[in-house]
Amino acid sequence: MPTTTSKTTGAASYFRKGLRDGAPFVLVVGPFAVLFGVLATEAGLNVLEILAFSVVVIAGAAQFTALQLMTENAPTVVVLASALAVNLRMAMYSASLTPWLGAAPLWQRALIAYFTLDQSYACAIGRYEAEPHMSLRERIGYFAGAVLPVVPTWYGCTVAGALLGSRIPESMALDFALPITFLALVAPMLRTPAHMIAAFVSIVVSLLAAGVPWSLGLIIAAVCGMMAGARAELWFVAKRPAP
């Protein structure tokens, strides 16, 4: 039977692994956060408001969506609905992580829910599926390690972007961080034909619906992609030969 010391050592080891796996995301999260800080300043928010935005929401895609709609003077209900729709993926992330972390105490689950980001989820689910023998303590340690490099970087670089504002030259092209971040996260998860169909449908629909006001085309594309992926999964399951 493992001792408390061995359990702690195992959790610390996985914490370091999480730290190592999460560290590369700093290279894209940093510019992404700086860009948000710059754009938020240009939209009229002050430094405290920008930091509060990042701390409360802590979801880059939803923050950019809400900020863009705010600058377009979209109705508040549209801003909230769009940000929530973009963040619906977090509900799916949570459902996916529940079998691995659902037995944790309530306070730990609350922290995990807050720190469930695209980066921490991508690292965690990949590790948990590759090493299903991990104990709960080790899974939580790994998750904490994967989060640690990303969150302070997001907060700090958001403030840096807000303080620097328009002094950052356009030649730096910070907007490269947005597509690269999501390509790095999404590409390894396209593991089944259903995933690929969902991605393809969402891309096509988003292009076709690009002219829909207030960026609602993205919501339409997301819904269509999820519906197509779910339908494809059911079709592939029905076509599998019986055992």
Cβ burial 159-186 (10 Å sphere, 16+ → b, else e): bebbeeeeeeeeeeebeebbeebeebbe
Residue range 31-60: mean pLDDT, rounded: 89
**pLDDT tens for each residue of 176-208:** 666 666 666 566 666 678 888 888 998 899 899
pLDDT band at 103 (very low <50, low <70, confident <90, very high): very high
pLDDT at 156 over 60: yes
Share of the chain above pLDDT 90, in %: 40
Q: What is the pLDDT of residues 72-99, one digit of tens each?
A: 888 888 888 888 877 877 888 898 899 9
10 Å Cβ neighbour count for 157? 23
pTM of the shown model: 0.75
Q: For residue 239, what are the CA distances in angstroms to 173, 195, 229, 233, 242? A: 47, 17, 15, 10, 9
Q: What pLDDT score does 39 carry?
A: 85
Q: Residues 153, 72, 65, 180: is their CA dihedral positive or negative?
A: negative
Q: What is the mean pLDDT of residues 120-144?
A: 94
Per-domain residue ranges for the chain?
4-187, 190-243
Do 58 and 154 form a contact (C-beta atoms < 8 A)? yes
Query: 136-147 vs 88-101: helix axis angle to the nearest 10?
Result: 140
∠ CA 188-154-190, nearest 5°, is: 10
